Every structure is written in structure tokens, then in C-alpha cells.
Amino acid sequence: MTGKRTATSDLWWKNAVIYCLDVQTFLDTDGDGCGDLIGLTERIDYLAGLGVTCLWLMPCFPSPERDDGYDISDFYAVDEKLGNLGDFAELVRTAHDRGIRVIVDLVVNHTSHRHKWFQSARKGRDAAFHDYYVWADEKPEDEEQLVFPGEEKSNWAWDEDAGRWYFHRFYAEQPDLNTANPAVRDEIAKIGGFWLALGVTGYRVDAVPFLLEEVSGPEGEHKDPHSLVRELSAYLTRRRGDAVLLGEVNLPYDKAVEFFGTAGDELNMMFNFPVNQAMYLSLARQDTAPLAAALSSMPEIPTECQWANFVRNHDELTLDQLSDDERAEVFEAFGPEESMQVYGRGLRRRLPSMLSHDEDRIRLVYSLMFSLPGTPTLFYGEEIGMSENLDIEGRLSGRSPMQWSSEPHAGFSPAPDGAQLCRPLPADHSANVADQRRDPHSLLNWMERLIRQRRECPEFGWGELSVLHAEGPLLAHRCDWDGTSVLAVHNLGDKNATLTLKVDCEKLVDLLGTDDRDPNKKLTLKPFEYRWFRVH
């Protein structure tokens, strides 16, 4: 191993495989219809076998569930329907034993209206926690961006007890915290330190741009908003040297890159929303131009930082960075019915449904995502091709129970009645882990092989990107790092396509098959075919 690799080996997130799940929809062991921490712990070996190296848990804190657990009523506990802190500690211990780090959602933009801080804050201006929130005596005329348009009409809600208006970016049941208040910043640090002490390796930080907007307080008291993330990053790193902050920053590159910090001292990782949305436009058009443009416009980022790539995140498939006409194209291709769309900006569907369960196209998309520069992130069930359930309201359509077998309730729960399940299964829930394990040609077995190959190609995580070819349906890109190179070719079209790679090397070694290539000979890809090569 070279000195360069040794010096950077502690930046584990540069070549990780992240797997996101909701504990309550993963595996139920006590028959109450709700998944639990004990069930997840039982499936850690499954995740390890898949090749997962980092487990991202969606909120598992006590919550009234107005916003699927993102409305938190206690930051220092586990929701009792999922288990207790002892169960959580055992989960983390088991994951670490299998080489899997655990990160959890850090949701500190707001609290639930039932949180003890807000219940105290409502008692009046002199209440202990009143200044933890954002208040106004008169309802401001200027409105901020609503996260849930159509469900909320204003950012300001009246509280009868306090006799004042309070600010909320999300639901009215989620009053925003005032991050301009130093006491609130101290609380955020305490929350971060608490879960690190229980063994987590970091956090996925929810809605980072909203977190840093300081909408109240005397002008002279305002600090640099980015100082909150810098201070939190420094604090967590002092507590645990390999701690990571993975941020949700759905902004164009010129604004998003600011959240890495000038010296990589803010977020360590950030979801690559521009590439994700451009990818869907390219898929809809069978034209690589939008994706190639997004890749070419990716800004230079600090060495310590990383983009996180994904096919489908845990909310809707957001398309808000596309123009109205471009978004309409993607809607028409992958979700033409109004029931498939949400908030006018995204799709409620999972990938298999969007692609009419065409397995060639499904595998093409995951091959593309895993080979793009950055760290791949999976949402539970993607590895078996799970579908959504559009009968589930809003953004929760993609969060139906995990499908483990052909047994009742897809093996998710021993509950006697399907009505007891936390959420209903899709009408077609035939895709399951047990059956696909027995089929050597299944999506699950293919995904395991793809992940193994991706982990053996750190160039995709560390390397410098070069777009070699982007014309019509064909995209070829290369990643170079530490004297080694890999490249990938994808045909997004439904017809054969040919190109010559013109790479200066002896041969291209096929990483997903046995067809090694002369770099100067023409390469023909069948419809939706993909190839990975190592430059020899």
C-alpha cells in the first residue's frame, strides 16, 4: 500500500456503501406490526453480506409521527415501540462487530410541538425555553418557502397560550428552533455528543440550509450561520476522530459547495442532488447531455469531502432543480398520473415502477449510480426491486414494510392481522429476499456482486473525473487516482450504440465480466448495457 493511501485511510466515507432504513418498517419481532431494533439487529448479517459499510437510521426517537418521526419530542431517547436505549446500544455493537458504522438522523431544525421545550416556551416570554423558538407579536407579512405547499398555507402559527405567533418551516406541529440562540447551539452539541457516546459514527443532518437560517434575534447577536456547522463538526471530531456529517443540501452547486466549508471544516459529505436530477432527465430523454453537463459542472471540493450519490432518497424523488419543462418531461416518462406526483416538484414512485419493472434498465441505473464519482447510498428494498404503495399518503408511499419472504406480510411481521402493520404492503409484494437469494440471476445477487466490485474500485470514490464520451445515449467516464484508473460506459438508449474509447493503455480489463478489450477497437453496447473496465 502506498503512502498516499495510508495517509488518507481514515477518511472512510470516501469509499463507503451507505444503506438507509426506517427501523419501524424493517423487521417486526414482537408481532405488534411495527419494526423494532431487535429485528434490525437480527438482520445486520444480511446487510454485512450485501456489502454495506455504513447504516443510516432514519429517526427512531419518540415522536407523535406528524412527519414520520422527524417531529421529535425527545432527542435523548428511543421511541418505545422500537425498543429502548439498551436495544440501540446492542444494535450498534453488533454492527461494529460486522464492520458496519452507524449514523443517525440529526433533526434539529425544529422540534415537535409536544417537546418539553416548546411546552415550556408557550408559558410566556419569561419561560425558560421561550427563546429556543422564533416568535412574533404580529404575524409577519413576508412568507418564507413552505416545505409542504398545499398542506400548510403559512410559516406562522398562532399559539393561544403564548399569545404570540411562532415560525415553522415544515408542519405547524414542528416549531422551528432559533439557532441564533447560543443556548440552542449548546443543546445541539449535547445531542450530538450523546449519541456518539452510544457508538454512532456521525449524523445525516436534515435540511441543512434551513437549519442555518437565523430568522430572529437582535442584529448584533447574529453569528455567521455557517459557524454552527463548523462548531458542531469540530466538537464531534474531538469526541470521535472518524465522526462524519452527511448533509441534505438540495441546492445548485454554486450554493451547495459553501456547506463543505472553505477548508472542509463543515460537512464531510453532501448528497449530490444536481447529478441525481440530471440523471433522471437523461434517462427520460435517453440522452446523456443533461447528466454530462451536471458532471462537468461539479465544483472542486476539499480533499476530505465527498459527494453521496443515490437513485431514490427516502422522501419524494425531488426534481425541483429542473426547469418546469424538464420536470414535465420526467413526469411524463416516469409518473404521468397526478397521484404519482407530490407538491408539484417530485415523484412518489420507486425506480422499478418508474421503469415498468424492466430489469435491464433497473440494473443500468444502479450501475451508473455506483460508478459515478462519490459514495453510493441505497434506500432499503432497492436491492430486491421493491415497489411503492401509492395508497399510502404523500411521501410515505415509498416507505412500506421490507419484503423478506413469501410468508404472510412478506415475512416482515408475525402479526395475525394485516391491519396491524405500521403501513400496508404494496399490492404486488412478490419481490423478496428469500426467493432472490436462491436465484443466482436475481437483482439481489447481482447487487451484491456490484457492491463488491465497487468497494474494490476506490477510484470511483477518490479519483478525478474525466468525461470521455457523452453523445446521444452513450456516456463514458473515467476516474483516476493514485496512479490507477477505472472507467465505465453506459448506454441509456433502447438501441445498439457504438464508440471507440481511445484510451492510452495496453488493454481494458472487464470488471463485470470476462470481455477484456483492446482500447482502440470499437465497443458496441446493446440497449441499456453497461460496462466497467480497469485501465491496464
529, 498 Cβ separation under 8 angstroms? no
The runs of H, that is alpha helices, within 297-374 are 324-334, 351-354, 359-371
Angstrom distance (rounded) from CA 113 to CA 131 = 15
The whole-number pLDDT of residue 8 equals 46
The whole-number pLDDT of residue 177 equals 95
Point out the residues that are catalytic. Answer: 206, 248
The residue type of 535 is V
Strands (E), 1-57: 18-21, 54-57
473, 493 Cβ separation under 8 angstroms? yes
CATH architecture assignment, domain 463-535: Sandwich (2.60)
Residue 43 CB burial class (10 angstroms; 0-12, 13-18, ≥19): middle
The whole-number pLDDT of residue 214 equals 56
Q: Strand, coil or helix: what is 475?
A: strand
23, 57 Cβ separation under 8 angstroms? yes
The whole-number pLDDT of residue 502 equals 86
The domain locations on the chain are 12-109+180-455, 116-167, 463-535
CB neighbours of 190 closer than 8 A, spacing ≥ 6?
none
Angstrom distance (rounded) from CA 245 to CA 308 = 12
Backbone phi, then psi, for 341, in 5-degree steps? -110, 165
Angstrom distance (rounded) from CA 478 to CA 489 = 9
What is the pTM (predicted TM-score) of this model?
Answer: 0.96
Superfamily assignment of 12-109+180-455 in CATH?
Glycosidases (3.20.20.80)
Residues in the chain: 536
The whole-number pLDDT of residue 16 equals 98
- Of all residues in the chain, what percent are helix, strand and coil, respectively (each to 5)? 35, 20, 50
CATH C-level class of 116-167: alpha beta
Ordered per-residue pLDDT tens for the chain, 536 residues: 333 333 345 799 999 999 999 999 999 999 999 999 999 999 999 999 999 999 999 999 999 999 999 999 999 999 999 999 999 999 999 999 999 999 999 999 999 999 999 999 999 999 999 999 999 999 998 778 889 988 999 999 999 999 999 999 999 999 999 998 999 999 999 999 999 999 999 999 999 998 877 544 444 444 577 889 999 999 999 999 999 999 999 999 999 999 999 889 999 999 999 999 999 999 999 999 999 999 999 999 999 999 999 999 899 999 999 999 999 999 999 999 999 999 999 999 999 999 999 999 999 999 999 999 999 999 999 999 999 999 999 999 999 999 999 999 999 999 999 999 999 999 999 999 999 999 999 999 999 999 999 999 999 999 999 999 999 999 999 999 999 999 999 999 999 999 999 899 999 999 999 999 999 899 999 999 999 999 99
Summary mean pLDDT of the chain: 94
The secondary structure of 426-464 as a DSSP string is: PS-----HHHHHT-TTSHHHHHHHHHHHHHT-THHHHSE
Q: Strand, coil or helix: what is 509?
A: strand
Alpha-carbon 10 to chain mean position: 22
For the beta carbon of residue 258, count every other beta carbon within 10 angstroms: 16
User: β-strand 346-347 against 341-342: which pairing, if any?
Assistant: antiparallel
The residue type of 105 is D
Angstrom distance (rounded) from CA 35 to CA 83 = 10
